[in-house]
Amino acid sequence: MAAKIGQLMDEKLGKQKNDVLPVLKDLSKIILTEGKKFNVCEKAAKDLPEIAGNALLSFSSSGNTSKLRPLKVGVLFSGGPASGGHNVVVGLYDAVKEMDPKSEVIGFMNGPDGLLKADGKILSKEDIDSVRNQGGFYLLGTSRTKFEKESDMAKCSETIKKFDLDGLLIIGGDDSNTNAAHLANHLKKDGSKAVVVGIPKTIDGDLAYLPYLQTSFGFYTAAMTYSEMVGNICRDLPSSRKIWHFVKLMGRSASWITLETAFQTQPNVALIGEEIKEKKMTLSQVIDMVADVIEKRYKAGKKYGIVLIPEGIVEFIPEIKSLISSINKAIVNIGNDHFIKMHINDRKEKVLVELIQEHERLFIELPHTVQNGLLSGLDPHGNVQVSQIASDVLIMDLVWDRLSQRGIKLTTQTHFYGYDGRCGYPTWFDATYTYNLGRAASILVANSKAGYMVTVNNINGSFDKWQAQAIPLAGMMAVEERKGKDCLVISKYLVNLNSKAFKEFEKNRDKWAIEDSYLCPGPVQFFGPDELVKSRSITMTLNA
């Protein structure tokens, strides 16, 4: 039998040595220097007094060697998986063992749940070697649990005391790092020796804080995985010359993945949710925008093309957002438990009665599958399940109808890429970034620096220019309304229409719409020429 490629890849990549930032090589010589003090908002000053005064920390190498002590550091994954997560743990492990062989890394199982339930295990060399440069979060698992109540904080404290931890790494997105800030403050107030360090993870690309935090890990691997598939379809277009492909891409509210994929593949249309919101476009205008491109191409004899659609688009179309909110209220009035037991036709009837005429009209015009998605009941947070709305089908069906009215018949196909890009082997960029994040985090723990997010700066440039840094979590936070309450959170980094990346896209999209400018990036390479292997995100480098 031929070799199983998965076994070979695991082995070859598992043995590949990770590049270490020069400044992080000799751990005994690293000194942390305080830089800029961050302004914190009023609520942060009040709610997070213990960590609100933190200043930016930079890492450098001194001539002197300091004695390092053994550390016990906990680590957990939070939220959806992203490629590179394992390497954070590996980098942390390698570093604390270099500091002192008696050091220990404790992995908490199933995300924040493991911390609440004191479900942790000391990671062995075998555990660590089995996940070097491997995708996924399977070593520990993950969950979306939040520490919201005081009692949760107390349970975390107890676990941290039980395991005698010097520090805890929370690997997560904006919500998880908001959590990390609160826990850091809580522990410091409690007099715990353990410091909490946040690690910026999310494939969505919506966790950044320029110029300090340029990107979260996992974004580039996910975007390149989707770009491979989209690029392959782009090659198919002028080959079979007869299909319009509507591709939905993961990324929740942010359109960064769609934008990066657009740069990598040059599709005919890429919808950017933030633009639609900013320009207050109606659903009908969005449909026209797509239909006009298709019609123009049709008249030029091109009956094929590709449209990229960010997963969260429906939330950006004001009238749909308003419809969703009305349906939300209607379901609450009916009672969700009762509602989800009804037959779909009855659900529809009951909801329509509650809607104002304008919303009723809009709802009836939506494709069947989208109607069903909107009627699938509320999620545990009491919201209509936006992720259940097939936005690719929504756009495709409405565009099809619009063009049909113009006498144009299309052959169409939908795709959704999302889960398939969260756990691939990390690109060199993500593997290297995360390995060094883990190493740098160990220094924060060794120096008892609480309430920081560790980052690497200048990652758009060549590797020898990369700089480890630590940003005060409290400084990244702002007050936002969540479920009608003012909350202190890390804001989502969304596509700004004035950003260089968006401007570059805007400059090119009319050309991409009509000409066949398609690119096919192909599968991520791990062993080839440096230009391929050590590549970086286009959106990130443009925005740097």
Q: Which residues pair with 74 in a beta bridge?
A: 106, 168
- Give the Cα separation of 339 and 282 in Å (integer): 29
Buried b (16+ CB within 10 A) or exposed e, 361-376: ebbeebbeebbbbbbb
d(CA 169, CA 176): 11
CB of 172 to a copy of itself, least distance (A): 13
- Per-residue mark of binding to a copy of itself, 227-246 (x: CB under 8 A): xxxxxxx-xx-xxxx-x-x-
Q: Is 400 in the site for a copy of itself (CB under 8 A)?
A: no
Tokens, residue 351 = 């909801």
Interaction of residue 209 with a copy of itself, rule CB under 8 A: no
Alpha carbons 53 and 474: distance in angstroms, whole number? 8
Show the site string, 48-77: x = touches a copy of itself by CB under 8 A, - = not.
Answer: -----------------------------x
Query: Is 522 a binder of a copy of itself (CB under 8 A)?
Result: yes
Closer to a copy of itself at the Cβ: 446 or 540? 540
Selected range binding a copy of itself among 26-34, 181-189, 439-447, 524-532, rule: CB under 8 A: 524-532
Is the peptide bond preceding residue 529 cis, with omega within 30 degrees of 0?
A: no
Binding to a copy of itself by residue 103, rule CB under 8 A?
Answer: no
Least spacing, CB of residue 205 vs a copy of itself, in Å? 14
**Minimum separation from the CB atom of position 73 to a copy of itself (A):** 21
Is 287 a binder of a copy of itself (CB under 8 A)?
no
The minimum distance between CB 93 and a copy of itself, in angstroms, equals 19
If binding is defined by CB under 8 A, does position 511 make contact with a copy of itself?
no
DSSP string, 380-418: TTS-B-GGGS-HHHHHHHHHHHHHHHTT----EEEEEES
Structure tokens at 17: 């040595």
Is 542 near a copy of itself (CB under 8 A)?
A: yes
Asked if 204 interacts with a copy of itself (CB under 8 A), we say no
Q: Which residues are catalytic?
A: 204
Ramachandran bin of 451, using left for φ above 0, alpha for ψ from -120 to 50, beta for the remaining angles: left
Residue recorded with tokens 């790092």: 177
Furthest C-alpha separation in the chain:
78
Q: Cβ of residue 105: shortest distance to a copy of itself, in angstroms? A: 18
Window of 3-11, 156-164, 197-205, 349-357 that interacts with a copy of itself by CB under 8 A: 3-11
Specify the residue, 14 or 35, whose C-beta has the smaller distance to a copy of itself. Answer: 14
Residue 424 contacts a copy of itself per CB under 8 A:
yes
Q: Is 144 within 8 Å of 79 (Cβ atoms)?
A: yes
Q: With respect to a copy of itself, which residue has the nearer C-beta, 218 or 472?
A: 218
Subset of residues 325 to 364 that bind a copy of itself, contact rule: CB under 8 A: none
Report the C-alpha gap between 302 and 268 in whole angstroms.
11
Select the span of 154-162, 199-207, 225-233, 267-275 touching a copy of itself (CB under 8 A): 225-233
Q: Which stretch binds a copy of itself (CB under 8 A): 93-101, 312-320, 326-334, 532-540?
A: 532-540
Nearer to a copy of itself, 1 or 63 (CB): 1
Residue 527 near a copy of itself by CB under 8 A: yes
Residue 332 C-alpha from the chain's centroid: 30
Using CB under 8 A as the binding rule, the residues of this chain from 449 to 488 that contact a copy of itself are 460
* 413 bridge partner residues: 245
Interaction between residue 529 and a copy of itself (CB under 8 A): yes
Q: Which of 58/388 has CB closer to a copy of itself?
A: 388
d(CA 419, CA 437) in angstroms, rounded, equals 24
Nearer Cβ to a copy of itself (220/435): 220
Scanning 130-138, 184-192, 209-217, 480-488 for contacts with a copy of itself by CB under 8 A, the matching segment is: 130-138
DSSP code, position 464: G
Does residue 14 interact with a copy of itself by CB under 8 A? no
From candidates 322, 413, 458, 508, binder to a copy of itself by CB under 8 A: 413
For a copy of itself, which residue of 108, 163, 263, 400 counts as binding (CB under 8 A)?
263
- Measuring CA to CA, which residue among 189, 190, 168, 192 is closest to residue 180? 168
Pair type for strands 467-472 and 477-482: unpaired
Contact between 409 and a copy of itself by CB under 8 A: the answer reads no
**Does 138 engage in binding with a copy of itself (CB under 8 A)?**
yes
Which alpha helices (DSSP H) does 137-271 contain, by range? Answer: 150-162, 174-189, 219-240, 256-265
Beta carbons within 8 Å of 503's beta carbon, 6+ residues apart: none
Instruction: Tally Cβ neighbours within 10 Å of residue 242.
Output: 10
Nearer CB in complex with a copy of itself: 141/312:
141
- Is 171 a residue that touches a copy of itself (CB under 8 A)? no
Give min distance, CB of 117 to a copy of itself, in A.
15
* Cα dist from 282 to 315, 365, 374, 397, whole Å: 12, 14, 18, 16
**CA 313, CA 315: separation in Å to the nearest integer?**
5
Residue whose CB is less far from a copy of itself, 232 or 467: 232
- The verdict on 370 binding a copy of itself (CB under 8 A) reads no
Q: Does residue 172 sit in helix, strand or coil? A: strand
How many amino acids of this chain bind a copy of itself (CB under 8 A)?
77
Give me the residues paired with residue 417 across strands.
Answer: 249
> For residue 20, which phi and psi values (nearest 5 degrees)?
-110, 130
- In whole angstroms, give the CA distance from residue 448 to residue 85: 23
CA–CA separation, 374 and 368 (whole Å): 10
Span from 183-191, 353-361, 446-454, 529-537 in contact with a copy of itself (CB under 8 A): 529-537
103 vs 427 by CB, closer to a copy of itself:
427
